[in-house]
């Protein structure tokens, strides 16, 4: 099984499970991830998703043996394979439930892209990020929008063009990783964040993620101000917001 599911309270942990290959990505892994994302979106008991890796790595990137085969494919088939991964990343980016990347060991190439497509990145101190594609004549194409968004264009220029390794502490300093903790504390910190996210209204989280996706490519303008005001007005009139406000005033937990 290339992908294992573990339930921890309100969180569903998705474990990449090819430890002997450092969780290298191939078509089977991508399809399993896409399938599980669809299943868990409909599962109301799964409020948060955590993406993690078995063994010594989070994910060492694409399966190079498969890439070598892909180099001999027709252009049409090669594009179809590439689009499958691009579609998975976009699905993660717009996923209505929070996604946390639990990163330990290497998160290289496509593995770094998977982490960047998540909402939060929690890295252990020994984790390491890298975009080595240019060193073997490739381009980090599908993952580049998420890398740029996660670490900013200026830092992305450096690490995409040099292919140098990025230590977890430095990744935290420049804003790619939200937190950097000792390896022994990694699971506890991820669980703490998952529990915090699970306290929020599920519809509010989904709407917030949708709004964030829009804000990332929008300039501040009167039109944007009007659109954000409309979002709040619509949400405030909904049952979830009413319950949230009522529970706050009544000093009790909300009923979601």
- pLDDT at residue 211 tops 80: yes
What's the rounded mean pLDDT across residues 24-31?
Answer: 95
Q: Please indicate whether residue 3 or residue 74 has the higher confidence score (pLDDT).
A: 3
Q: Is 83 exposed, middle or buried, given 0-12, 13-18 or 19+ CB atoms closer than 10 A?
A: exposed
Q: What is the pLDDT of residues 166-177, one digit of tens each?
A: 999 999 999 999
pLDDT score recorded for residue 227: 83
108 token code pair: 């290289």
- pLDDT at residue 66 tops 70: no
- pLDDT at residue 72 tops 80: no
| Candidate ranges 21-25, 60-64, 237-241; pick with highest mean pLDDT | 21-25
Q: Please indicate whether residue 245 or residue 100 has the higher confidence score (pLDDT).
A: 100
Residue the block writes with tokens 């009413």: 242
Among 82, 91, 190, which residue's Cα sits nearest to residue 140?
Answer: 82
Listed range (3-7, 215-219, 242-246) with the worst mean pLDDT = 215-219
pLDDT score recorded for residue 71: 61
Q: Please indicate whether residue 23 or residue 216 has the higher confidence score (pLDDT).
A: 23
Q: Give me the active site residues, please.
A: 133
In DSSP terms, 128 is beta-bridged to 106, 167
For the entire predicted model, the pTM comes to 0.91
Across the chain, mean pLDDT equals 93
Q: Sheet holding 106-108: strands in order across?
A: 106-108, 128-130, 165-167
The CATH number of domain 3-198, selected from 3.40.1010.20, 3.40.50.970, 3.90.226.10, 2.40.50.100: 3.90.226.10
pLDDT score recorded for residue 225: 82
Q: How confident is the model at residue 73 (pLDDT cuts 50, 70, 90)?
A: low
- pLDDT at residue 83 tops 80: yes
| CA distance linking residue 66 with residue 122, whole number of Å | 29
Continuous segment of H or E residues that includes residue 36:
helix 27-41
Q: Sheet holding 3-8: strands in order across?
A: 3-8, 11-16, 48-53, 99-103, 120-124, 179-181
The percent of residues above 90 in pLDDT, for the chain, comes to 77
Q: What is the pLDDT of residues 32-61, one digit of tens each?
A: 999 999 999 999 999 999 999 999 999 999
Coil/strand/helix, residue 132: coil
Longest pairwise C-alpha distance within the chain: 65
| CA distance linking residue 227 with residue 112, whole number of Å | 33
Count how many Cα atoms sit within 13 Å of the Cα of residue 87 in the half-sphere of its side chain: 14
pLDDT score recorded for residue 74: 78
pLDDT score recorded for residue 82: 83
């Amino acid at each position: 099984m290339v992908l294992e599911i573990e339930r921890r309270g309100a969180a569903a942990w998705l474990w990449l499970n090819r430890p002997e290959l450092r969780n290298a990505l191939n078509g089977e892994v991508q399809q399993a991830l896409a399938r599980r994302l669809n299943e868990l979106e409909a599962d109301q008991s799964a409020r948060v998703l955590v993406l993690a890796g078995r063994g010594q790595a989070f994910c060492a990137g694409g399966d190079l043996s498969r890439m070598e085969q892909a180099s001999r494919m027709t252009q049409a088939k090669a594009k179809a394979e590439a689009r499958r991964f691009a579609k998975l990343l976009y699905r993660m980016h717009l996923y209505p439930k929070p996604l946390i990347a639990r990163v330990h060991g290497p998160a290289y190439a496509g593995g770094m892209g998977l982490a960047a497509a998540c909402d939060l990145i929690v890295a252990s101190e020994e984790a390491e990020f890298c975009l080595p594609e240019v060193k073997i004549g490739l381009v980090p194409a599908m993952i580049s929008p998420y890398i740029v968004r996660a670490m900013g264009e200026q830092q992305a220029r450096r690490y995409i063009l040099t292919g140098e390794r990025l230590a977890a502490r430095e990744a935290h300093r420049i804003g790619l990783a939200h937190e950097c903790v000792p390896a022994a504390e990694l699971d506890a910190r991820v669980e703490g964040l998952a529990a915090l996210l699970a306290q929020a209204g599920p519809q509010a989280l989904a709407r917030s993620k949708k709004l964030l996706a829009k804000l990332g490519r929008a300039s501040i303008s009167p039109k944007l101000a009007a659109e954000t005001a409309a979002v709040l007005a619509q949400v405030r009139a909904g049952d979830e917001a009413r319950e949230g406000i009522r529970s706050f005033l009544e000093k009790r937990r909300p009923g979601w």
